[in-house]
Every structure is written in C-alpha cells, then in structure tokens.
Amino acid sequence: MSDDVRDLALELRRHLAWQESDGTRVLLKEPAALRTVSVPPERSRGSTATAPAPKVEAPSVIVPGETLDEVRRELGECTRCKLCNGRTQIVFGSGNPRAELVFVGEGPGEEEDKQGIPFVGAAGQLLTKMIEAMKFSRDTVYICNVVKCRPPGNRNPEPEEIQSCEPFLRAQLRVIKPRVIVALGKFASQTLLREDTAITRLRGQWRKYEGIDLMPTFHPAYLLRSPDEKKKAWMDLQEVMKRLGTK
C-alpha cells in the first residue's frame, strides 16, 4: 500500500473520531477498503509526534450524498425502528431542494401518513398560512420532519426512533444548505441543537446548526391548541424574514 493511501486512511479515522467525541453523529461509514487496512503509526513529520486517534466504531447508517434523491434512495423502505410497523408510507420531505428556508417538524400525522407529504393536516394548513404570511410559498421552501414515519396515535417520537431517523434529517439539511432553519417545536429544536432546554425558553432566540442560522419556535399543532401563542410565533417568523431580507 502506498504512503498516500495510508495517510488518507489515518486522516479519515481521525476525522471520524473527532466527530464522535464532539457529539456529532457521523453521516459517513468508513469505506470497506479502509476498514480492512491496518494503519501503522504516523511517521514523524517534524519535531513533534501526533498521538494516534482512539478507535471509533463505524456507524451503521450510510447517508451518501449530493442530492436529496440519493438520500431518499439510501433511506429506502426503512425498517430501522419500530415505526415502520404501523406506517402507510414514509414521509420524506417536500419543497425546493435548494431552498433558503427549511422548516423542520416533529413527525407525520394521520393525513401526512396517507398522502406521503409533510404538514398537510390541520397543523399543515396553519403552517402554509404562516409560510405565505412570510412572503414565501410551500414550493419555495423545504419542509421535513425529524422522524419520517407516523408514531402510532400521533404520540411523541421515542429516543430510539429519533436516533434512527436523525442521520437522514441531517443529510437532508447538508444537501439543501439553507440560509435559515425554522425548528418547529420541542423535538425538532432539541434534536438539532442537542439539548433539552424547553421550547418556551428556546423560541425566539437565534441559534446555530452547523453554521446555519436556526430559529426555534412553536409547532403549529401547539398553536392550534394554544392560539394565544400565535403572536409569539409570528414574532419569531418576523425575525426570520429580517434575516432573509424579505421584510
């Protein structure tokens, strides 16, 4: 094996180790050709030596990609968690694959499960009105969810279910490269930000997701139950409009 290949293998192992230690889920699996290589200790390139990277187990999910179609193909007819047992169909996402603005929700409901399109039920109708009030349309933004299959009875997604779907959500965002993400509700905000702060404290505060501006706000389903909170959500969306220059 050439020195260049050995160096490439070592650098890849270090990159995977850094992502794991930083708490970031790795979206690439170490190629088979590299997994079978025994990488020797790095040769000295100067006066100091670099300690070998810790051993990192390659993740079980491969999410390639340059396009949303590639990510969707890798998701396939997913059976990675028990949500597959009760779904009608996977609800991957919809909208502009090069959108400046992405909305991330929690998971599909009954109507979404039937139609295969995110946010088409009552909460979706409200979201559509919110998007149009922001001077966008559903065709110009992108809409997706943390989990791609409907939780039974519209219950909250469980940690294992979020963990199974999360690499695909992150791959979607990586491919789209939006300027702004609006995280709708507790599960979207906490999953992307990797923290358990309550949405009532998160909302309205600009945060960052992998260098992208992220605005947490209330989920439309919550706004239907608590219409008095719509004013706060609109304030959050106005901040997004300012950031995008549409206000």
What residue ranges define each of the domains in the chain, with the CATH number in brackets? 1-60 (no CATH), 68-244 (3.40.470.10)
Give residue 47's pLDDT.
Answer: 36
Q: Which residue has the higher pLDDT, 11 or 175?
A: 175
> pLDDT band at 5, cuts 50/70/90?
very low
Region 31-56: mean pLDDT is 35
Region 183-200: mean pLDDT is 97
Region 116-121: mean pLDDT is 98
Asked if residues 141 and 179 have their Cβ atoms less than 8 Å apart, the reply is no
Region 18-38: mean pLDDT is 38
Measured distance between the N- and C-terminal CA atoms of the chain, rounded to whole angstroms = 58
Q: Is the pLDDT of residue 27 over 90?
A: no
CA atoms within 13 A on the CB side of 65: 25
Least Cα distance to 175 among 96, 119, 244, 241 occurs for 96
In angstroms, what CA-CA distances link 130 with 2, 54, 115, 126, 233? 57, 47, 21, 6, 9
CA distance 13 to 16: 5
CA distance 220 to 230: 9
Asked if residues 154 and 110 have their Cβ atoms less than 8 Å apart, the reply is yes
Region 94-115: mean pLDDT is 98
> pLDDT band at 63, cuts 50/70/90?
confident
Q: Which residue has the higher pLDDT, 27 or 16?
A: 16
Tokens 């309205």 found at: 204
| Amino acid (1-letter code) at residue 112 | E
Please give the structure tokens belonging to residue 34: 């590299």
Weakest-pLDDT range from 60-64, 110-114, 144-148, 160-164 = 60-64
Q: Is the pLDDT of residue 144 over 70?
A: yes
Q: How many CB atoms lie within 10 A of CB 62?
A: 16
Region 184-206: mean pLDDT is 97
Within 8 A by CB and 6+ apart from 212, the residues are 173, 177, 178, 179, 180, 181
E strand segments, the chain: 94-95, 101-105, 142-145, 180-184, 207-209, 212-217
